[in-house]
């Protein structure tokens, strides 16, 4: 099979980096996890903290067997698939293999492409720059909205009305605007206690 066809089938994937660290954000903050960062994103967030990931062709393609073999070198059994935008790829083969090897699979996604894969936890972080695909709303376990502008509170409520009723609701300050928005987020959560705060704790700890 040609590499291009293997990528289209989700049997090979462009890997920007993979690292064992502590989940810094969201409901699983503080948990050890192996991160697999796929190359390629067409969403274009102005404040994206991993813009290097956007160009898929910059990153070497690996087979899902190689990817999972690397993950097995570490003691943790939580894997977080991120990017880039991981839903640009068919994630069924990778997640099936991870499950068969005893891993728990999480995803970090903007939801801008059709959902694929067998995930135990779906972190959905919608973006104004590219509309989410409707398939994400019923599978999202956490809605994590990055606050970069005051209009993002309204954007967050709009998506909270679309996700399933068991989805956790989280507001995360955009890193460079945290000094401006953290106090507004604190006030917002005190007045709207169905929302929680998510911080990028790995950046405070200076770990990957
Ligand atoms: C780099 S993205 C990759 C996954 C996927 N493309 C997405 O946006 O969900 C991982 C997480 O980091 C968040 N993020 C990216 N840049 C950020 C920033 N400057 N400040 C706060 N959160 C950020 C995203 O919203 C997302 O929840
Ligand atoms: N430690 C750590 N936690 C994270 N949670 C989500 C991340 C991501 O970039 O998707 C991330 C990341 O890059 N590092
Ligand atoms: S969707 Fe995610 S990876 Fe893509 S630009 Fe936005 S934050 Fe960055
Ligand atoms: Mg990150």
Ligand 3 atom closest to residue 49's alpha carbon, by position in its atom list? 8
Q: How much distance in Å is there from the Cα of 151 to the middle of ligand 2? A: 25
pLDDT tens for the chain, residues 1 to 208:
999 999 999 999 999 999 999 999 999 999 999 999 999 999 999 999 999 999 999 999 999 999 999 999 999 999 999 999 999 999 999 999 999 999 999 999 999 999 999 999 999 999 999 999 999 999 999 999 999 999 999 999 999 999 999 999 999 999 999 999 999 999 999 999 999 999 999 999 999 9
Domains of the chain: 3-203 (3.20.20.70)
**Annotated binding residue at 123?**
no
**Annotated binding residue at 82?**
yes
pTM over 0.90: yes
Q: Are the beta carbons of 52 and 46 closer than 8 angstroms? A: no
Q: How much distance in Å is there from the Cα of 83 to the middle of ligand 4? A: 8
Give this complex's ipTM. Answer: 0.99
Ligand nearest to the CA of 152: 1
**Annotated binding residue at 49?**
yes
């Amino acid at each position: 099979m040609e590499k291009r066809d293997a990528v289209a089938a989700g049997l090979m994937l462009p890997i920007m980096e993979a690292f064992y660290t502590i989940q810094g954000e969201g409901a699983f903050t503080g948990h050890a996890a192996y991160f697999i960062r796929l190359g390629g994103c067409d969403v274009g967030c102005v404040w994206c903290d991993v813009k290097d990931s956007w160009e898929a062709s910059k990153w070497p393609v690996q087979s899902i067997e190689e990817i999972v073999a690397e993950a097995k070198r570490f003691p943790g059994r939580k894997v977080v698939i991120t990017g880039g935008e991981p839903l640009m790829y068919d994630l069924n083969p990778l997640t099936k293999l991870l499950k068969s090897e005893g891993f728990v699979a999480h995803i970090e996604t903007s939801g801008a492409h059709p959902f694929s894969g067998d995930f135990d936890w779906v972190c959905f972080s919608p973006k104004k720059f590219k509309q989410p695909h409707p398939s994400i709303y019923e599978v999202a376990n956490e809605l994590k909205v990055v606050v970069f502008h005051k209009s993002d509170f309204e954007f967050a409520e709009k998506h909270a009305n679309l996700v399933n009723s068991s989805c956790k609701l989280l507001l995360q300050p955009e890193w460079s605007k945290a000094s401006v928005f953290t106090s507004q987020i604190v006030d917002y959560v005190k007045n709207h206690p169905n929302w929680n705060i998510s911080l990028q704790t790995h950046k405070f700890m200076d770990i990957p």
